[in-house]
Amino acid sequence: MTDLGHRDLSERIIAAALAVHTALGPGFVEKVYENALCVELAARGLRFEQQKPVRILHRDIEVGEHRLDLVVEGVFLVELKAVRDLEDIFFAIARSQMKAARLAEGMILNIATHPLTIKRVGPGRQ
């Protein structure tokens, strides 16, 4: 795994995600895992914003709004998936979300796989 910043934070997020994955297993819709992950993050004393709205600008004019699954401690994007395989487009989307929210780091968690798939995302990285 690439050593980006916020190592302790990412490890705590991963531990919470593993607890959810172990308890629930694969088979539910993403929202179930998102809600369960929020329970785990709160139990671990981590601050987070669920479904955080982000304004999308073009030429400094708002052209829409997007909602991020989770932003942890105000600095880390967590994008949840419940799919068979992570596709390249998911990484491009996560990078666009991070750019819009001015976040430098994030991860995609695919909870539908066994074991849990954890992929770090940074600007220009997959």
Please report the domains of the chain, with CATH numbers, ordered by start residue: 7-121 (3.40.1350)
Can you point out the beta strands (E) in 5-60?
48-58
CA nearest neighbour of 37 among 72, 83, 85, 87: 72
Inter-residue contact 65 to 101 (CB < 8 Å):
no
pLDDT in tens for each of the 126 residues of the chain? Answer: 344 468 899 999 999 999 999 999 888 999 999 999 999 999 999 999 999 999 999 999 999 999 999 999 999 999 999 999 999 999 999 999 999 999 999 999 999 888 999 999 987 554
- What is the predicted pLDDT for the residue at 26? 84
Under DSSP, is residue 80 helix (H, G, I), strand (E, B) or coil? Answer: strand
Q: Rounded to whole angstroms, how far apart are CA atoms 27 and 110?
A: 11
The residue whose two tokens read 């695919």 is: 110
